[in-house]
Chain A
Amino acid sequence: MHTNSPQDNAVVLSDLLELLTAALRADGILVSAGSSSGEPDVLASVPAGLVGRRLPLSTGLLATCGLGVHTTTDLLLPSAMTGWLGFRPAFVASLKIDLPESEGCLFAWWKNQPAEDTLIASLLTNATRLVADLGSRETEAVALSYMKDRFDAVLDNVSLGIAFVNLLRGSRLNDVAADILGIPVATTDTAAVVAAMQRVRAACTIETEEGVPAALSANASNASTAEYWIDPARNLVLRVESHPVSSEKTPGRFWVFTDVKPLWDSNEKVKSSNDVLQRNIALLAEEMERRIEAEAQLREFNLGLRQKNEELEIAKLESDLIANQDSLTGLANRRRFRRGLEEMITSAHRKGDRVAVVYLDLDRFKTVNDILGHERGDQLLRTVADTLTQVLRKDDLIARLGGDEFGCAMTLRSDSTLTQVTALVQQLGQRLNIPVESPDQIIHVSASIGIALYPDDAEDAVHLLRAADNAMYLGKRHGGNEVIVFTRRNDSVSAN
């Protein structure tokens, strides 16, 4: 059985980290391993140079784990950071990593505030991959050695530009791809290959095909992509395809570059490029078959691999879930709610159904938080989430929209009435009369609830949510603990 030395691990890890650094537009990344109370070792870093050092990680710094992007102003950082990066990083995002026999942490560093949105989710995904990777180092090494042999044979025998970008093992190019990208054919540094692709692409006019995701687009991570790169200065028209190598446990992609200049010039673009596509796909299919064969061989003596793949899939699912889920209550978050509501409206429009949106805001939640602390407040929010889940139907969409605000959306068949909905919601309102005991009083928590209907009150998700919110607000002004149904005349009907 193949075993890797720790040094190999560091090399492979740093490849992954370099790509992660590029993806996050971070200025540096380091992975530490060891007890968090002591002084952990640096397992890998980008830029390189901290590997093998022991760094004292202050409790303040460790406390930022999992909190997303965090300013470092009041954090004690290891002194080596500044010498390593050449500046003191102003922002950090970190995650805990469960390593087989120690606690690990991944830290990404930025000189300036990063764009936050997609970043955390991406960081999570990649970090969980990293975990899976570290956990199954040995099996992977064997798989990759097979892969490499197979791939080399293909690379050297085609007239297309081919780049195999592997996040863990470095990249491989053939002559044609190296020429197009303007980097040496021996380049194996994945970050350098990706950077070259971005550079060449940036100099080109990009044309895409209908129904095919563009390269480097957000939803292209698991799909095949195709686009045209046109650079008049270089007299270049390239058809650029990329295909995920998803049957492998290591994340990677095939990039195929085809010069379609003559066809492009003769206006035969669509038909001819389809020919080109067919030819390329035939080649790739052949390659895939070889790989599958190799994997079958591997599986025979590598029983652990399948399990690791499953773990990786689970990790991926979890990270998708996190992006759509409220971490405190497990309900959908605002983002998921809006998307779900849009889907429900589209479907209702088609079938002639109605959609009711229930907007719910707790009364005296702040009092609970102020008097009994955030932990009790969080507990209360979870109780509310449980109640909502119990009272509403399975198909209803329930979300925590932020703070102490919740949203529910339910499809109403044409035969159901508004009265039925208000009855259900009133029952819900009663269940949410929750007395919370504090040392010197009982805090009567209740809910102000607003209801609005599609298509009666609004035509789209945004306005519908706003109408329900307005109705809720009216209830709040009446003193709370009230269910208000929105009406078009802008004065709502109290249903309490």
Chain B
Amino acid sequence: MPNPDYAGNAGLSSPRCLRHNVTLTAPNGPLLVLLHGFGTDQTVWRKVLPSLEPHFQILRLDLAGAGPNGPASFDPARYDHIESHADDLLLILDELGIDQCLFAGASVGSMIGMVAAIEHPRLFRKLIFIGASPRYLNDTGYIGGFEQQDLDQIYEAMSNDYQGWISGFAPLAVRGLPDSAPVKEFSESLFALRPDIALSSARTIFQSDFRRQLPLVQPPVVLLQTQNDIAVPDAVGQYLKSHIRTATLEVLPVEGHFPHLAAPEVVSESLLRHLH
């Protein structure tokens, strides 16, 4: 079934779509939104795109603060809550006249999609979360993976020596050798972020808590989790699965927080399987 001409309407050249650098591929199938996470922009999907393009029309965007318009689109007072990003996503889909889509998000992109889906359940047919976490801080009866002092150290390192922090953080997050291509790509992407925006975003993400919202999710959710993900302990995947009524969990045979960079073929295969 051919898609309506989303690209042809005036929406794509609206100020909001321009600000978020919204891109659409050819309408080869149902609309699929790919949403990046912290420290990256829409180019992070570069390697999974070719295998998805023949089957979907893919919409990508840069979250506020990310991509070439990052500094212009970011307002620390507004983006101190992740919901503001979800509003951006909803308003963009609204402006383009999209009334149904599939969604795949990475890391915090997943939570943004989830919040948007709670607000507008009929808009999303299915949600795929890659390396998602509803809360990064440990709490009574909950393992998020971080203590507040861990996070404070991260914030301090980021503000003292951003570049130095990147060289330490990127290999851990991607779980690769410092010289490997995926680590380099993530490092460069982080480096392109303005340090104050990076710090502000990191705080907002790491201090967030969406556990209360999990039972409100209505569309089917597939949780893709990797092994040895520095940001998301195994227990988080289990927690999400047991608190989102519609969720199924698949553990990918990949390591690290950026499987779409480190093992794009595994992610592509899984996305195609779950979205078909």
Contact = CB atoms under 8 A, between A and B. Distances in A.
Question: Do A and B come from the same complex?
Answer: yes
Interface of A: 39, 53-56, 58, 76-83, 86-88
Given A78-B87, A82-B115, 9 more contacts: A54-B78, A56-B91, A79-B90, A79-B118, A82-B118, A86-B212, A88-B118, A88-B119, A88-B216
Interface in B44-95: 75, 77-78, 81, 83-84, 86-88, 90-91, 94
A54 B77 contact: yes
Contact of B116 (A53, A58, A79): A79
B91 A83 contact: no
Contacts of B118: 79, 82, 88
A76 B86 CA distance: 11
B119 A77 contact: yes
Contact of B120 (A39, A56, A76, A83): A76
Interface in B170-223: 210, 212-213, 216
Contacts of B81: 53, 80
B77 A76 contact: no
Contacts of A87: 216
B132 to A, nearest CB: 16
A79 B78 contact: no
Given A79-B118, A88-B216, A58 B91 contact: yes
B213 A76 contact: no
Nearest to B16: A56
A381 to B, nearest CB: 35
A58 B90 CA distance: 10
B216 A56 contact: no
B83 A83 contact: yes
Given A54-B77, A87-B216, A79 B91 contact: no
Nearest to A52: B77
A78 B83 contact: yes
Contacts of B78: 39, 54
A241 B90 CA distance: 52
Interface residues of B, number: 21
A240 to B, nearest CB: 40
A88 B91 CA distance: 17
Given A54-B78, A88-B118, A82 B94 contact: no
A87 B216 CA distance: 8
Contacts of A53: 81
Contact of A82 (B84, B91, B213): B213
Nearest to B77: A54
Contact of A80 (B83, B88, B91, B120): B83
A77 B210 CA distance: 18
A82 B87 contact: no
B213 A83 contact: yes
Contacts of B216: 82, 87-88
Given A54-B84, A56-B87, A76-B94, A82 B119 contact: yes
23 contacts: A53-B81, A54-B77, A54-B84, A55-B87, A56-B87, A76-B90, A79-B87, A79-B90, A79-B118, A79-B119, A80-B81, A80-B84, A81-B119, A82-B115, A82-B213, A82-B216, A83-B83, A83-B210, A83-B213, A86-B212, A87-B216, A88-B118, A88-B119
Nearest to A78: B87
A88 B217 CA distance: 11
A83 B87 contact: no
Contacts of A83: 83, 115, 210, 212-213
A54 B88 CA distance: 12
The residue among B83, B116, B118 with the most chain A CB atoms within 10 A of its own CB is B83
A79 B115 contact: yes
B16 to A, nearest CB: 9
B90 to A, nearest CB: 6
Given A56-B91, A88-B119, A79 B77 contact: no
A79 B94 contact: no
Nearest to B114: A79
Nearest to A73: B122
Interface in B114-136: 115-116, 118-120
A406 B81 CA distance: 53
Contacts of B91: 56, 58, 76
Nearest to B78: A54
A436 to B, nearest CB: 37
Contacts of B94: 58, 76
Nearest to A41: B77
Nearest to A82: B118
B19 to A, nearest CB: 13
A102 to B, nearest CB: 16
Contacts of A55: 87
A58 B95 CA distance: 11
Contacts of B88: 56
Contacts of B77: 54
A39 B116 CA distance: 18
Q: Which of B75, B84, B91, B210 counts the most chain A CB atoms within 10 A? A: B84
Nearest to B112: A79
Nearest to B75: A54
Nearest to B89: A79
A79 B212 contact: no
Contacts of B212: 83, 86
The 7 A-B residue pairs with the shortest CB-CB distance in the complex, in nearest-first order: A79-B86, A80-B83, A79-B83, A54-B78, A56-B87, A79-B119, A79-B115
Contacts of B86: 79
Contacts of A79: 83-84, 86-87, 90, 115-116, 118-119
Nearest to B94: A76
Contacts of A86: 212
Contacts of B119: 76-79, 81-82, 88
B210 to A, nearest CB: 8
A56 B16 CA distance: 12
A79 B112 CA distance: 10
Nearest to A57: B87
A78 B213 CA distance: 15
Nearest to A77: B119
Contacts of B120: 76
A282 to B, nearest CB: 54
A411 to B, nearest CB: 57
Nearest to B216: A82
A6 B43 CA distance: 43
B116 to A, nearest CB: 6
Contacts of B83: 78-80, 83
Nearest to A39: B78
A58 B83 CA distance: 14
